[in-house]
């Protein structure tokens, strides 16, 4: 299934690997920060509701 | 119904919340087939050998690196002229995505340049203007973090965005302006004579579409987070003052 890249294996796998790793990191950071802020905002709103 | 209604954070949160599942679906349906097609099912090119497969990640990333800055410019102008907070937050949210796209373009370009040009890096007009664009992205993000008052931060980053637009334009047209250096002209062209063969062009267009949809998805998610973060800070401040 894996195509044969010959002498360009490092070029192709290196560039695709770096791309996919950076995109995965960006998506992960986006989702993690989104969830963290959402949780913190909910907790703050709950606290302010309880405290009046 | 005016487009400016979406500058209202509540309206933006409602609309983006409704849109997000569709945008995520469109991202998966374009990005995955585009990349799989480009990687596994395209032939080796006569001139470039198997390295032609790098274009399916390099060209979409480079295209977005420039266009995200243009999007930030438009959003910054809306902030500077009309003072809509959502537009300033959208520009802030877009910057890390643009920075990553520029980095991908630089890294994949270096991987491609090594066997094709015999060097990882050359102070070529397009490569150099891309490096400067990357530094502008870093500077833009650092400026947002350095200034505590969000409105002042939005003003100053807006001005920085205007200045950086010169390099975004240079990055796009450097190969034409100077007509020298190693980097070739555009891979895609409306001129049938100039653009690459359909067998490469079709998966490339799909990949560019996929990267574009990924950008829209991440932009919506990150802008929503910035809006929530702004509200959180406002509530914390209100609690401290009470």
Q: Nearest CA to CA, how far is A49 from chain B (Å)?
A: 11
Nearest to B172 by CA among B130, B111, B123: B130
Q: Per-residue pLDDT for B79 more than 60?
A: yes
Contact status of A45 with chain B (Cβ, < 8 Å): yes
Of the candidates B54, B100, B115, which has its C-beta nearest A22's C-beta? B100
C-alpha–C-alpha distance, residues B187 and B194, integer Å: 8
Report the residue from A25, A37, A47 with minimal CB separation from B225: A37
Query: Chain A residue closest to B24 (CA)?
Result: A27
| Distance between CA atoms of residues A30 and A28, nearest Å | 5
Which tens digit of pLDDT belongs to each residue from B138-184?
999 999 999 999 999 999 999 999 999 987 887 777 666 665 666 66
Q: Which positions in chain A touch B230 (Cβ < 8 Å)?
A: none
Q: What are the tokens at B50? A: 């198997």
Per-residue pLDDT tens digits for B20-67: 999 999 999 999 999 999 999 998 887 788 889 999 999 999 999 999
Q: In this structure, what token pair is assigned to residue B22?
A: 């569709």
Mutate to test the interface with B, among A7, A8, A10, A44 (most CBs of B within 10 A): A8
CA of B94: how far to CAs of A5, B75, B91, in Å?
35, 10, 5
Structural Rg of chain B based on CA atoms: 20
Residue B5 contacts residue B181 (beta carbons within 8 Å): no
Q: Would you state the structure tokens that stand for residue A34, as one six-digit string? A: 């989104």
> What average pLDDT score do residues B207-229 get?
98
Closest CA to B171 of B121, B132, B114, B212: B132
Q: What is the tens place of the pLDDT at every residue in B112-122?
A: 999 999 999 99
Of chain A residues 1-30, which have a CB less than 8 A from chain B? 1, 3-8, 10-12, 14-16, 18-19, 22-23, 25-27, 29-30
Provide mean pLDDT across the span B75-93.
96
Extents of the domains making up chain B? 21-236
* ipTM value > 0.90: yes
Give yes or no for a contact between B58 and B46, defined as CB atoms under 8 angstroms apart: no
The dihedrals phi and psi of B124, each to the nearest 5 degrees, come to: -85, 150
Kindly state the tokens that stand for B181: 């250096």
Number of Cβ pairs closer than 8 Å across A and B?
94
Q: Do A44 and B232 touch (CB under 8 A)?
A: yes
């Amino acid at each position: 299934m894996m195509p044969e890249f010959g002498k360009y294996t490092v070029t192709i796998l290196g560039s695709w690997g770096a791309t996919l790793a950076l995109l995965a990191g960006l998506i992960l950071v986006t989702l993690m920060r989104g969830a963290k802020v959402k949780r913190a905002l909910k907790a703050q709103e709950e606290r302010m509701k309880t405290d009046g | 119904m005016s487009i400016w209604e979406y500058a209202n954070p509540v309206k933006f949160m409602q609309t983006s919340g409704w849109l997000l599942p569709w945008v995520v679906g469109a991202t998966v349906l374009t990005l995955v087939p585009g990349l799989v097609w480009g990687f596994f099912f395209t032939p080796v090119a006569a001139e470039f050998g198997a390295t032609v497969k790098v274009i399916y990640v390099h060209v979409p990333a480079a295209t977005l690196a420039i266009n995200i800055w243009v999007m930030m410019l438009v959003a910054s102008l809306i902030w500077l002229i009309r003072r809509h907070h959502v537009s300033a937050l959208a520009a802030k949210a877009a910057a890390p995505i643009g920075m990553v796209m520029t980095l991908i373009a630089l890294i994949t370009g270096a991987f491609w340049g090594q066997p094709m040009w015999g060097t990882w890096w050359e102070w070529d007009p397009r490569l150099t203007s891309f490096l400067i664009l990357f530094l502008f992205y870093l500077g833009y993000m650092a400026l947002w973090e350095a200034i505590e008052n969000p409105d002042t931060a939005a003003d100053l980053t807006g001005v920085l965005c205007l200045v950086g637009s010169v390099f975004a334009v240079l990055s796009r047209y450097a190969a034409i302006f100077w007509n020298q250096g190693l980097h070739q002209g555009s891979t895609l062209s409306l001129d049938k004579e100039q653009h690459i063969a359909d067998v490469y062009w079709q998966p490339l267009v799909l990949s560019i579409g996929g990267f574009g949809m990924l950008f829209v998805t991440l932009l919506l998610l990150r802008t929503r987070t910035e809006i929530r973060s702004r509200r959180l800070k406002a509530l914390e401040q209100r609690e401290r003052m009470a």
